[in-house]
Structure 1
Amino acid sequence: MSTTTSSHSMDRESTKRRSSLPLAGLLLGLASIGTVLVAGIGYRQGWWHFLRGLQIAEWAVYAAALSLVLSLVGLVRWHRQRRAVVTGLLGVLLALPVLGMALQWDYATRTYPPINDISTDTNNPPEFWDMPNPMAYPGVAVAQQQRAGYPDLAPLTLPQAPAAVFEHALQLVQARGWTLVASDAEEGRIEAVATSRLFGFADEVTIRIVPEGNGSRVDMRSRSRLGKIDRGTNARRIRSWLADLKQSTATR
């Protein structure tokens, strides 16, 4: 009798171990995603400095890494138990987005130039006139790093007149959901603020449209308000926006 009781007790303990390890991975995966969201929401709401928000997001990455380990161990050790497999898979799926975000962040930090002010014209960059704290272009050193890191960035030349291009440009800024700060059709100037999805980091954008032969030349400058590096964000924004503007003017 005692032997049977002992056997049942051992079975229960084994079952608990089978369920608790993948469950811990699942809960940590949920916590990691929740922590990332809280980090961004807290900064947007002014609960803490952006550096604290990034620190909280870093904690989420550690939680996601542990979640992945526990979930994978649970899958390997108890792959014949349906509940453990389902729980383990959910833990992996929850951990991967947070870890992917961290890996992408680290890759961008190592790959792109350590600058945060990008312009299609580094010799005569478009100016910011209506931003709260207008600042001059950083200068030759930044221009050299930009040309080395983003040699493809250049002004966009279009066959349409500046007035027509300006209308397309303004519509595209509004379609992107950027906050319009200034627009002057006579000067061919648009200033706006683009914000990141999670933390709401603000990047300032200025667009300059001038006559070029029988058509127009479009220059764009994008810079980050916070931090000293942008991990390629401003260059990507310029490439994407100019490509959309070219397509927009070509189809109308």
Structure 2
Amino acid sequence: MAENESIAATGAPESGVRTPHPAVRWIARIGVLLGIGAPLAALAMALMTGAGWLGWQISLMSLFYLPWVAMAGGLLCTIALIFLMIGKHWRRALWPVVGIVVAAAFVGIVSYTFGKAATVPPIHDITTDLSNPPAFETLTLRADNRTAMPPVEGDPAMAWREWHETAYPDIQPIIVPVSVPETIAAAERLVEERGWELAAADPATGRLEATETVSIYRFKDDVVLRVTPNPNGPGSVVNMRSVSRVGISDLGVNAERVRAFLADLSAATAG
């Protein structure tokens, strides 16, 4: 009778190796599968998107659902872990702990990304000149550049401008103390240092175009610089534009790129 009670409580006779109840083992297995499987699925889809095997819309849409799968897995791992601790099955607690940590990290990263999206405007075209943005000549501006935005009343171009002015008032042209050809040469060096793909660099007309590939999704953002002589004195005026090829919101990436590049260009031409 005592032996039967021991088997019911531990899942194994007292004389044998103590094992958790089968239900606990299954809860742990399913929890680990979901908690680790969901992030791995998101990673696999991101890599497939980067390789051109899967549309970016599917990959990003999955991020609305996979965190819920991961949270369910983390919850099951937590339940299993509690029973494993009560039963003092220390060695079997490793994988549920891993499942909890991985699921929590994944949910945290996705939540941070969506939270950041809520703090920036839903635009993907950032420039220092809102009235006359630098034009692409070698690279092709996306056809839906002004329509790939949330529905607005009135002119989408005006909505884009208002969002841009409100969110990024600091994105302005810079004046450098060197000639147009020297500025293009300095910009070309910065492009090379950053590992961007140079599409065009014309010192005579003061134009440079390049593409940066970002994240494991391998999204491509196009950049164009327009450098003109300073009409009010020596040096040159630099305007810049950075546009994402796909998507609606760029999560502020283009603005960060413009700020960083112009700051580095200013420093590179200062002395």
Q: What TM-score does the superposition give when structure 2 sets the normalisation length?
A: 0.79
- Structure 1 pair 47–89 and aligned structure 2 pair: CA distance change class (3 A): same
Instruction: Identify the residue that residue 260 of structure 2 maps to in structure 1.
Output: 240
What's the offset of the Cα at 1:222?
Answer: 1.0
Matched, 1:223 2:243: yes
Give the 3 Å change call, closer, same or farther, for CA 96–244 of structure 1 in structure 2: farther
The match for 2:167 is: 149
**CA positional deviation for 1:76:** 5.1
Q: Name the counterpart of 1:15.
A: 20
2:180 match: 162
Query: What amino acid is aligned across from residue 59 of structure 2 in structure 1?
Result: G
Q: Name the aligned partner's letter for residue 100 of structure 1.
A: G
CA offsets, 1:35-58, max 9 Å, x none?
112211222333332222223344
Q: Percent identity?
A: 30
Within the candidate set 37, 43, 56, 2:49 is matched to 43
Q: Is 1:94 aligned to 2:102, yes or no? A: yes
Q: Is the 8 A contact 1:125 1:137 kept in 2?
A: no
How has the CA–CA distance of structure 1 residues 155 and 96 changed in structure 2, closer, same or farther, with 3 Å as cutoff? farther
Q: Paired residue for 1:110?
A: 118
What corresponds to 1:27 in structure 2? 33
SS of equivalent residue, structure 2 residue 11: helix
Long gaps (5+) in structure 1: none
In terms of mean alpha carbon deviation, does 165-174 or 3-12 score higher?
3-12
| 1:184 paired residue number | 202
- Number of aligned positions between the proteins: 250
1:8-54: CA deviations, max 9, x gaps?
Answer: 24312772455554554333332122211221122233333222222
Deviation at 1:73, TM superposition (A): 3.9
SS in 2 for 1:175: helix
Q: Is the 8 A contact 1:60 1:98 kept in 2?
A: no
* 1:242 alignment partner, SS class: helix
Give the distance between the partners of 2:184 and 2:89, measured in 1 at CA: 63
- C-alpha distance 50-161 of structure 1, shift in aligned 2 (>3 A): same
2:20–2:89 contact (8 Å) kept in structure 1: no
Query: Does the residue aligned with 2:20 lie in a helix, a strand or coil?
Result: helix
Q: TM-score, normalised by structure 1?
A: 0.84
User: CA 1:215–1:85 in 2, change beyond 3 Å: closer, same or farther?
Assistant: farther
Matched, 1:173 2:191: yes
Contact 1:35–1:56 (CA under 8 A) maintained in structure 2: no
